Chains A and B, each alone.
Chain A
Amino acid sequence: MQPRAGERVVVAMSGGVDSSVAAALLVEAGFDVVGISMRLWGESSASGCCSLDDFLDARRVASQLRIPYYVMDFRDTFKRAVVDPFVEEYGIGRTPNPCVLCNQAVKFSSFWDRARELGAEWLATGHYARIVRDDATGSAQLWASRDASKDQSYFLFGVDRTVLERSLFPVGDLPKAVVREHAKRLGMAVADKPESQEICFAPKGDYASFVERHARRQAAAGVVVDREGKVLAQHDGVHRFTIGQRRGLGISASEPLYVTEIDAAAQRVRVGSRAEIVATGLVATRVNWLQPLLPSVGGSFQVKIRSRFAPVEVTLERATEQEFAALAPQGLAAVTPGQAAVLYDRERVVGGGWIERALH
């Protein structure tokens, strides 16, 4: 199904340049555009998400585009589906990815419901990714943005296929510079607004103190040990560590040390050499496939295990509706439980899941 001019599109407007230009391009293409900002988190800060400044920026863009604009409340859903699991995951020694969860459980779920309540046929965001539609079947595929440095397809693996079919990424295949040019051409005040890279609800990127403030149990101190179990240092809680982490370990050693294992039950963080963080593969669960059929076992794919890691060649070892296992002949560095593992067939997203464990 292809979008047609005149149909109603709800655009998720953050007040940033990407979603602002997305809205503008849809207006220029003749859609019936409605802008909505999501109020996700109550602890408003001067910067970061959901500040009144951001809403004012979005409102200004909307009024410039002469489109209706509303602020809507998703704090309950956001807390339940994103923030609570975020805090919980850190507490059990995993490293969560709240942006992926937010797309899956809020933007392309509750927010899409709200859009449909307003009569929308389509949902648009400012994400950098491509949707390739098959006119015959109406099905949609998710492809990476051609600008690899901006690509956000990793964050979108969890979007339900039926919602993906109804989604539009108007700036998804544009280089950022072109998006900024559009913003300037349109005289948007947000044209030079800086990018937001941090986790939106943890001010100044300080997720550790955020977790400490919101955890149900107080973080327990523990020890950092080497491979043989020798205690090298003390730590203030396992939530301060992630697999592959090198900095902030509080240890001076002759060779660089990396976090190789986090045992939350024992409050123990194990460190080792670079070679020790390289796994041979991974198992991912709670999988969402973005193609109608399961991918073929034995097939060659690429996997991304962190948003900013380069994709790595893998062979699919097992694939079910719920989980998959992939083996990397060249090895996979820093396989981190809690992060997303997204399978690509070159630029196309095949599907993804949440990393359960590394294979060695």
Chain B
Amino acid sequence: MSQWRAYASRLSLSDVNRRGAPPAGIVFTSGRTESNNLSLLGRAPILTRRSIITTAIEHASVRLPIERMVEDGWTLRTLPVDGGGLVALDEFRCVLDDQIGMVSVAWANNEIGALQPVWEMAQVCRSRGVRFHSDAAQAVGKIPVRIDGIDLLSMSAHKIGGPQGVGALFVGRDIELRPLQLGGGQERGRRAGTENVAAIVGMGEACRLARIELAACGEAWVAMRDRLWARLQAVGGVRCNGPLAGPSLPNTLNVSFAGVRGEALVAGLDLEGVAASSGSACAAGAGEPSHVLLALGRSQDEARDGVRFSFGVTNSLRDVERIAEATAKVVGRIRATHRGVG
């Protein structure tokens, strides 16, 4: 029974890909972090061309495995991003020489929502015989994610409302992986250990729902984000961190208000019943400038003070009004405090 269920969720996971990934191409993992580690550190020992291309705005679970590879003698080429967080394809083509063994570029950036041209990059890679990995944790469920042509693709269940601690790595045909954990022959020998069946079933259901929700919400999110940006501009002294007019997640808006500490704005909004997040959401990282915003060319203060609004399936345009009002109130109060009239 449970095996059947796990298999069923393999099928619904593959539904994320409209064309359908073959079930054999999925490795269930503990989440995006493990999927990224397996993609990078599980490929590195196999490859003879030991240079890797990535961007300056990757998640820590891509950055740190690559740092490990560099310690082991790999050469890193970091693609810069423009002020909106996008890489340039032309530049990518130039950097992709015959030293490159691997490319890893996140589909959607978790902080600012910038969407990279991953299909085009994957095509370029394919034409040059280089494998392409993409961390799609932030893209799945927010935009249609088709994986054809992408050799390795990571995702987490909790980013689409599924259980925490489970994820998947989509592995293209004929991609060899050296497993990071050894033991039984689960996942076709690519990831030993008993599968977390209950969580996998939950992920399968989350994928099924995400597809329905995406169809229903995708356009609405764009309208909500654009409205919110218009309303925040009316507050004044605000800058968008992300590709304002370019390709970006429909539900994500990252902004910095001049003279307003990100953590103060997030706390003030929380007290008003609005859950936004600052660049680094964990307690240990409080007050650190975001490496993503720094890569966009923002100042230390701006990079520390980015605040991210993201919509979910339960939000509506009415919420946008509430969020905008709360933001105007909190930003106004913070600025007044420093003018000495608070």
Interface positions of A (Cβ within 8 A of B): 34, 36, 39, 52, 55, 59, 68, 70-73, 75, 113-114, 116-119
Residues of B within 8 A of A (CB): 261, 263-264, 267-268, 270-271, 283-284, 286-288, 333-334, 337-338, 342
Minimum CB–CB distance from B285 to chain A (whole Å) comes to 9
The 5 A-B pairs at the shortest CB distance, nearest first, are namely: A73-B287, A117-B334, A70-B267, A116-B337, A71-B283
Query: Across the two chains, which residue of chain A brings its CB closest to B329?
Result: A119
What does DSSP make chain A's interface, helix, strand, loop or mixed? mixed
Q: How many pairs of A and B residues are in contact by the CB < 8 Å rule? A: 48
| B271 adjacent to A71 (CB under 8 Å) | no
CA A70 to CA B264, docked complex, whole Å: 9
Residues of A within 8 A of B283 (CB): 52, 55, 59, 71
Minimum Cβ distance to chain A for residue B54 (Å): 27
Main secondary structure of the interface of B (DSSP, over half): helix
- Asked if residues B284 and A52 are in contact (CB atoms below 8 Å), the reply is yes
Whether the Cβ atoms of B337 and A113 lie closer than 8 Å is yes
Instruction: State the Cβ distance, A296 to closest chain B Cβ, in Å.
Output: 33
Q: Which of B270, B287, B288 lies in contact with A68, CB distance below 8 A?
A: B270
Contacts of B271 in A (CB 8 A): 34, 68, 118-119
Taking A72-B263, A73-B263, A113-B338 as contacts, is the C-beta distance between A119 and B286 under 8 angstroms?
Answer: no
Whether B286 lies near A71 (C-beta < 8 A) is: yes
Residue pair B268, A72 in contact (C-beta under 8 Å): no
Tell me the minimal C-beta distance from A350 to chain B in angstroms.
28
- Smallest CB gap from A113: residue in B: B337
Within 8 Å CB of A71, what residues of B? 283, 286
Question: In the complex, what distance in Å separates the CA atom of A52 from the CA atom of B333?
Answer: 30
**Does A72 contact B267, Cβ atoms closer than 8 Å?**
yes
Please pick, from B270, B288, B333, the residue contacting A117 in the complex, using a CB distance under 8 A: B333
A–B complex contacts, Cβ < 8 Å, 14 sampled: A39-B287, A59-B283, A68-B267, A68-B270, A70-B267, A71-B286, A73-B288, A113-B338, A117-B261, A117-B268, A117-B334, A119-B268, A119-B271, A119-B333
A40 to B71, CA, bound (A): 33
| Beta-carbon contact of A118 and B264 below 8 Å | yes
A117 adjacent to B264 (CB under 8 Å): yes
Query: Given A118-B271, A119-B268, are A72 and B337 neighbors across the interface (CB < 8 Å)?
Result: no
**B residues in contact with A70, CB < 8 Å:** 263, 267, 270
Name the B residues within 8 Å of A68 (CB-CB).
267, 270-271
Tell me how far the C-beta of A62 lies from the nearest C-beta in chain B, rounded to whole angstroms.
12
CB distance from B180 to the nearest CB of A (A): 27
